[in-house]
Structure 1
Amino acid sequence: MKYSTEIVVDVPREEFVKKMGDPENFKHWQRGLISYEILSKNPGQEGAQLKLQYKMGSREITMVETIFKSNLPNEMHSSYDTKGVQNIQKNYFKDEDGKTRWISESEFEFSGFGMKLMGFLMPGAFKKQSLKYMEDFKAFAEDGISVINS
């Protein structure tokens, strides 16, 4: 399953990239994030890995982020792996008169019958969740609004 989402954030691209790249900020725009753990010695660089733990409803999900292309401030591509799902994210950041256009291309690969069925039956839910993260980042980057108490 593939789709793309985009949003314009009213902060300069350098500030955008700095806020997005700081793991301490993740909790302010990634709903359900419980914790993160840096797994490599080169955070933010190609090959770097980060373990992320989320609570989604009554379930806890652990995934590993692996950066496979880092060309900041222009683009950052990563994969997110968890049981039954691999999500490949290609993120592009474009300067637009002091604002930043964030274009995200997402590709999900499912393994196992249950995950494949969920991807088939609910493709809109994945896109909706991606857009929600983008909107939450926009609120955080522009106005300092955190999802922690939401």
Structure 2
Amino acid sequence: MQDLVIVSTGQMYDRVSISQWMGKGHCSCPKTGQILAHTRLIPNRALYNLISQWCNAHGIPLDPMENTDITSEFVAMASSSKAAIEANKATTEILVQQLSNGTQGAKTVTARELHLLAKTGKENRACIAEAGAIPLLHDLLSS
């Protein structure tokens, strides 16, 4: 626990471990299973400071934390979130079209995809509702 970082889902990992996870092609959070909105790793300075204080009190050496400009990280994360919301809107529109025009099997798969998308945030749930998916999902469930 020397280089603690936070991923887009809010979970914390050691940089080396999460970098290895993402390096293997995973684009989801290992703990929550949510798709990562971006791959930036935000340093967890608060916890690092607590660990540093504990190490100093117990005479344990600790390597300094990577020096990054956290302000620019948060600005980049905010703009990435806007891009992610727009991408999710486009995905929702495609899924609603499939839900409207697809075969029964395709509709079932699409409903699962919408369910996964809805689990990842209130913005996504709003997009799904605005795209007109609720009556289509109701009809699918009724059948």
TM-score (norm 2): 0.26
| Higher RCO, Cα 8 Å, sep 6+ | 1
More helix by share: 2
Which structure has the larger Rg over C-alpha atoms? Answer: 2
